[in-house]
Amino acid sequence: MPTVPLSRSLADSFSHVRTWVFDLDNTLYPPAARLFDQIEVRMTDWVMRTLSVDRGEADHLRALYWRDHGTTLAGLMRHHGVDPGPYLTEVHEIDFSVLAPDPDLAARIAALPGRRIVYTNGSAPYAEQVIAARGLTGLFDAVYGVEHADYLPKPDAEAFDRIFARDRLDPTRAAMFEDDPRNLAAPHALGMQTVHVADTAVPAPHIHHHTDDLAAFLSRLV
């Protein structure tokens, strides 16, 4: 995995960045919140009801489509022609009280120079609820959901192209923070600084940095 030379500080590696792109789930909140566990239950229930399959088959399809298509929704749209709108609304009707405000993270994000955006494979309304629950409302210049990429999800390179074109950001002056390593490949190819936010590092040529504490990492940049 590429590392920062000892002669350069971490801040130097980000001195050119003027757009900060954050994934949402398990990036702007810790995985210990297990928020996505709630969503997965609702996904499985939705697949069971809509496709008339048992729970075992629904769980299998949910995981298979996520692996092969980037999101369960993408697989459902491709193979079953589902309407994404009702699906996104239903699977994101969850309990947000498991999330707590994070004043330290809020302060670190607020201190970043330039534009700050959120880009998630979930929906934008769902993202706004997570942002509010984390005490991060008002910190981001834009919030993009999968609907803004015409339901094409990360890690598809075209999904990033659509979002970045909409935002008019210059990838060579941007950084991407993301918990899913595969979703950093396209940003890296575009010239972005890539940061894997997860408990465990995954060495890969398309990952520049890793952190298990986003607030602490951001504190070293400004």
Residues 128-182 have pLDDT tens digits of 999 999 999 999 999 999 999 999 999 999 999 999 999 999 999 999 999 999 9
Superfamily of domain 10-29+100-219: HAD superfamily/HAD-like (3.40.50.1000)
**The pLDDT of residue 1:** 43
Residues 6+ apart with CB under 8 A from 70: 121, 153, 154, 155, 156, 159
Q: What percent of the chain has pLDDT over 90?
A: 91
Residues of the chain with CATH 3.40.50.1000: 10-29+100-219
pTM reported for the whole predicted model: 0.90
Place 66 in a pLDDT band, splitting at 50, 70 and 90: confident
Q: Is 45 exposed, middle or buried (0-12, 13-18, 19+ CB in 10 A)?
A: middle
Fold of 35-91: DNA polymerase; domain 1 (1.10.150)
- Residue 6 pLDDT greater than 60, yes or no: no
